[in-house]
Amino acid sequence: MDLNQENIQKIVAQVLSEMKGTSGQSAAASAAPAQFEIPKKARVAMLTALRKIEIKEFDIPEITDDEMLVKVEGCGICGTDVHEYKNDPFGLIPVVLGHEGSGVIVKMGKNITMDTTGKPLTVGDRIVTCTIPCGHCDACLNMRDRDNLCENSGIYGLMPEDDHYHFNGWFSDYLVIRKGSTFFKVNDMSLKLRLLIEPAAVVVHAVERAKSTGLLTFNSNVLIQGVGPIGLMLLAVVRTMGVENITVVDGDEKRLQMAKRFGAKYTVNFKNYKDLDEQIRRIKEVTGGRGADFAFQCTGVPSAASNVWKFVKRGGGLAEIGFFVDNGSCTINPHFDICNKEITMVGSWTYKVSDYPITMDFLKRAVGIGLPIEELVTHEFPLDQMNEAMDVNMKQLGIKIAYVAK
């Protein structure tokens, strides 16, 4: 990376952090490692049955030389958490959920000296966690740099409860970071930005996949279908890349208005069109009569996954990132949608460890160009109100709902 640009980002982040009165920068600046008083016991918010999160208390375990203890400052709620809360598709109950978290290191094993990028690490630093690749599956051994496809990847917040750590999800007071984990120092980012790193990594990875087709370029007509947290974040990434011709499709007027503020040029509320043909007509109208050069499908709705093919131009590209859980199948017409149009399609699955540093740069840059990225965090709840937080999420009353430690 260009060193100048990095410096500029640091300065922008520092100024913003000071303006907003966040504590991240002052912790980074202090010379002596901070001391923290660690209680004997701490709480976790455990999903013990469908739609039932209970507060449980456990002894905080002694950490080994290869582990760290982190005091949780907050954690965003993901669509995946909501699915687990409602239906337990991963069969994890009882489980401490929460994988979009950040916190401050309060205790460190002596073998840990730096984060995954090699930055020196000390007690008092703020971190986020990424995945724990297994190191022995086909993806880990034979597909260089595709660790997102690891068959047994561990992730805090989606682990069986019965492991002896207990503190293994971010919906808790503390988290034990175990050996083999990947984690990043994030002292120069506000808490809200830190809570957005994980979902932002999902879209950064999707954009990297899209770029691999060679069809997503500076002046592409981009279409984003679905502007929930992921779609809005995706919009922010392509805007930050300099793409300007962006059309978004959604059925929620509030989200479409937000998309405008994130730089969408055209918004299409599909509820205002009598059928798909009318929608296609409108999308052609705003894309020079052709259709989108590149489309991102960000909803979890099978019919939307069918429709999006109709919005892409002949020879265009498509990325599917809406189905992190199985919401059913959809129909594609192999003649019209695939052969005749020669659409290049990529799927995108979570993120690679190496997507994290890019993601952090993106978030700082997005703030730097004035995108209201922190406003994506619309609701904050304390640990003992996680059922209420899930409820707000299920009713789609906000965008990103988060647990924030009080």
Measured from the CB atom, is 147 or 173 closer to Zn ion?
Answer: 147
Measured from the CB atom, is 201 or 292 closer to Zn ion?
Answer: 201
Site for Zn ion in 95-154 (CB under 5 A): 134, 137, 140, 150
What mask of x and - would describe binding to Zn ion in positions 40 to 79, judged by CB under 5 A?
Answer: --------------------------------------x-
Measured from the CB atom, is 78 or 308 closer to Zn ion?
Answer: 78
Measured from the CB atom, is 69 or 159 closer to Zn ion?
Answer: 159
Distance CA 50, CA 141 (A): 37
Residue 243: CB minimum distance to Zn ion, A: 24
Q: Which residue has the tokens 């109950």?
A: 93
Size of the site for Zn ion (CB under 5 A): 5
Measured from the CB atom, is 27 or 137 closer to Zn ion?
Answer: 137
Q: Amino acid identity, residue 145? A: D
Residue 157: CB minimum distance to Zn ion, A: 8
Centroid of chain to Cα 95: 20
Report the greatest alpha carbon distance in the chain: 66
Beta strands (DSSP E) in 231-331 are 245-250, 266-269, 292-297, 312-320
Residue 151: CB minimum distance to Zn ion, A: 5
Distance CA 77, CA 82 (A): 8
Which of 103, 87, 92 has its CA nearest to residue 172? 103
Does 200 engage in binding with Zn ion (CB under 5 A)? no
Contacts of 261 (CB under 8 A, 6+ apart): 372
What mask of x and - would describe binding to Zn ion in positions 156 to 195, judged by CB under 5 A?
Answer: ----------------------------------------
Do strands 400-404 and 377-381 pair parallel, antiparallel, or not at all (unpaired)? parallel
3-class DSSP assignment, residue 304: helix
Q: Which two tokens stand for residue 92?
A: 């994890």
List residues near Zn ion by CB under 5 A. Answer: 78, 134, 137, 140, 150
